Amino acid sequence: MNYAEVIEYVKKMTEENGRPSNYPFRSRFEHTMRVYRWAIKLQSKLGGDLDVIVLAALLHDIGWDVSGERDHAELGAELAVEYLDSIGVDANIIQQVGEIIMIHEDKDSDRELSLEAKIVMDADLLDEVGAISIMWDSMATACEDDPTYKKAYYRIKEFYRKNKPKIRRCKTDTARAEWTKRMQLIETYMTQLEKELF
């Protein structure tokens, strides 16, 4: 399968779908590419159908209804199914990809999930946690009025407090191990920052 063609489609869709970015430095396409890379890493350790995982990871965020009338995941699944059908992808793969996109945001679900769905959901969950979240909080603070190092520190600390328990959302042991490692990185960073700031 030619993933490069799918990536070009995703780039176009994420540019055109009107989804607002809450910060000028945040790119939905770059998020998608990180999720794609994490999905491949998880698949290499856990198995599962690579095509289903890659296509669902790449297409998971293409849908966005500016009016708010359509659910993001539902619209994304519909667009993904139409696109994959138009390029001649196997119907069974299309069905699995559509189902994964439909449920990818329901991270607290306790329903029975395919390995492919678990991997895509975990890859999406792992993005923007860890070193990248420290960068995000620092850059977001810089975008606010009167930014200071201490404001960034408190923002990072709040992210850590709110997100550490979200390990429960990880569907695989591999993702849980990665989540734990990333939380430890944030904790170590905050400890050092406290020594330098206070």
Q: Which amino acid does the sequence have at 125?
A: L
pTM: 0.93
Q: Which of 90, 93, 87, 91 is nearest to 116 (CA)?
A: 93
- List of residues 6+ apart from 45 with CB closer than 8 A: 174
Q: What is the pLDDT of residues 24-38, one digit of tens each?
A: 888 889 999 999 999
E strands, 34-176, where? none
Tokens representing 112 are 């029975």
Q: Which of 55, 74, 52 is nearest to 63 (CA)?
A: 74
Q: What is the pLDDT of residues 99-151, one digit of tens each?
A: 999 998 888 878 899 999 999 999 999 998 999 999 999 999 999 999 999 99
Please, what is the Cα angle at 89 between 39 and 115, to 5 degrees? 35
What the chain holds in terms of domains, given with CATH numbers, is 3-107 (1.10.3210.10), 131-197 (no CATH)
